[in-house]
Chains A and B, each alone.
Chain A
Amino acid sequence: MAFKVLVCAKQVPNTNEIKINPETGTLIRDGVESILNHDDANALEEALALKDKYDDVEVIVVSMGPPQAKDMLLECLAKGADEAILLSDRAVGGSDTWATSNAVTAAIKHYGEFDMIFAGRQAIDGDTAQVGPQIAEKLDLPQVTYVQKFEISEDRKTVTVQRQLEDGYEVIEVPVPCMLTAIKELNTPRYMSIGGIFDAKNKPLHVWSAADVAVDLNTVGLKASPTNVFRSFTPKPKEPGVKIEGDSETDLAKNLLIKLKGKHVI
């Protein structure tokens, strides 16, 4: 019986490359590539490291998104995952985190038995950090978020993790199966390997519809989502600041301090 490790992953736009057009205030998205979400890469890496350690570990990547997200899953397969699942259906479009967790949970249940789930802490496009815990809730699994170190017991029935806190960390023991969300401190993700790239097409990549996973359509998609976007906008550029003038560094320093003092902030 294989030890099955699921990894929840999301394809996201590389938000580092997005810029705002200062004239129109709109996002410049030309040429912005879609990537495997950063924290999810750490989640996948930890699963693959477990596979490196134990021959019977199988790594299955689960995602939800448009059909183009297959590319991201192929990348996961090229890194060494065994199988990939994409839940793709217009019916789940516009889902907020609650509805997304319902959809992904349905896909996981449709997949069947598993031993562990790794997810990234949060996705760089939304930064919510909610879907992992919400999937854990729907699957009634214990969770540990912000995992920065991971160890599994000899019998693979419990894991011991370090959970990062703002001012240190907790060491937590949790029984398997469980949901762990990864942060970048957990590991350094591997690259795809050239051999893995050419082998990926030989591995199973399932694309499932909402009907395939038999999800209740009243719990997914835009209309079922408890939260909705009311408005969105680009941040306002601030009024131009003041350049401090001065003939020497001393003058510059003095003139700055005069300004600050004038504002009553020092």
Chain B
Amino acid sequence: MNFQLTKEQEFVRKMVREFAETEVEPIAAEIDKEHRFPVETVEKMAKYGLLGVPFPTEYGGAGGDHISYAITVEELSRKCASTGVICSAHTSLCCWPIFAWGTEEQKRKYLPDLLAGKTLGAFGLTEPNAGTDASGQQTRAEDKGDHWLLNGAKVFITNGGYADVFVVMAMTDKSKGNHGISSFIVEKGDEGFSIGKTEDKMGICASSTTELIFQNCKIPKDRLLGEVGQGFKVAMSTLDGGRIGIASQALGIAQGALDVTLDYMKARKQFGKSLSKFQALQFTVAELATEIEAARLLIYKAADMKDKHLAYGPAAAMAKLFAAETAMHVTTKCVQLHGGYGYTKDYPVERMMRDAKITEIYEGTSEVQKMVIAASVIGK
């Protein structure tokens, strides 16, 4: 048991915090309002290694660990949840499955550019009729001898409009259910592959969420990721890790909301004293701070287990469930603590509350997390 961050992890927090305060925070409200994907921030994240944190240097990664990665997403999300999810989806949902499931050739081909941020990654699992029940995949991949032919569509794909590399699930043998799913690497510009409509969302408005459309999409044989029929495993293992990223995003949102609320409470005077001097409000703050810290510990524990190659799936699910609900609860309370001002776009808590909601939904809804947790607790 050791609850102290290493010197490197502390430095990662210091670095990303400074980066987020200088590069991310000043444009957070603007890109949210304009629904603009922050291309310039992604370039800067790439330059400083924020898009390849938990991967070895031999593939061009930063050589960091998953706690450092969690801290990275947390600190980015503290200022802007959209920027946080760009990093999380790229790292957890695209780079990681290629790193974990790819052949040496695939790793050499894709990882250096992805980890250096020269290319951006995305992940395609969800379909119009296959959300929480991922086994209902309707996208098909046919073995055409010298190539694969993909047909179908994916929805709600984070980074969709700006990604270069996509890890995509498709059914190769419908009769086998989950075991009939395979995963593939699709590149922007592949024949028959296009980006569909961009979603108009409630929150994380500066992130790109799109459809992926495959119409007789022809990809070479060597794009199969893992073996035929392993796709569900690839997807589930990827989502286990992704939950650490989204939990960190939720944690960052909650912490960011509390930070600005504390500033507000110290400055704002009512009945002749600062809000921060009212005991009832102090108690609320105490509860929120405790929830946030509990979420943080669950996340870092799951990340630590991942680094130690332990079975971290249920831990990641607990972290994501708790952090997401914490983010929603904390941001709602923070808007309340701001009173009328909190409901306006002059203060960032309004954006944070909208952003928090998605963390209870994507990469496994809270209900899915409970299924995962229950299965591990009760047994099959």
Contacts and interface: CB of A to CB of B under 8 A. Distances in A.
Interface stretch (B47-55, B243-251, B292-300): B47-55
B62 A193 contact: yes
Contacts of B8: 197-198, 200-201
B37 to A, nearest CB: 22
A200 B12 CA distance: 12
A6 interface: no
A52 to B, nearest CB: 12
Of A192, A194, A195, A198, most B-chain CB atoms within 10 Å: A194
Nearest to B63: A198
Contacts of B64: 194, 197-198
Contacts of B347: none
Contacts of A198: 8, 57, 62-64
B interface SS class: helix
A142 B47 CA distance: 36
B15 to A, nearest CB: 4
Contacts of B15: 78, 191-194, 197
Interface in A178-214: 190-201
A197 B12 contact: yes
B7 A194 contact: no
Contacts of B49: 193-196
Chain B: number of interface residues, binned into ranges:
20 to 34
B18 interface: yes
A71 B11 CA distance: 9
B19 interface: yes
A75 interface: yes
Contacts of A190: 48
Which 4 A-B residue pairings sit nearest by Cβ, starting from the closest?
Answer: A194-B49, A194-B62, A195-B62, A198-B63
21 contacts: A71-B7, A75-B14, A78-B11, A190-B48, A191-B48, A192-B11, A192-B14, A192-B48, A193-B15, A193-B49, A194-B12, A194-B15, A194-B48, A194-B52, A194-B62, A196-B49, A197-B8, A197-B62, A198-B8, A198-B57, A199-B57
Given A190-B48, A191-B15, A195-B49, 18 more contacts: A71-B7, A74-B7, A75-B11, A78-B15, A191-B18, A191-B19, A191-B48, A193-B48, A193-B62, A194-B49, A194-B53, A194-B72, A195-B57, A195-B63, A197-B15, A197-B64, A198-B64, A200-B11
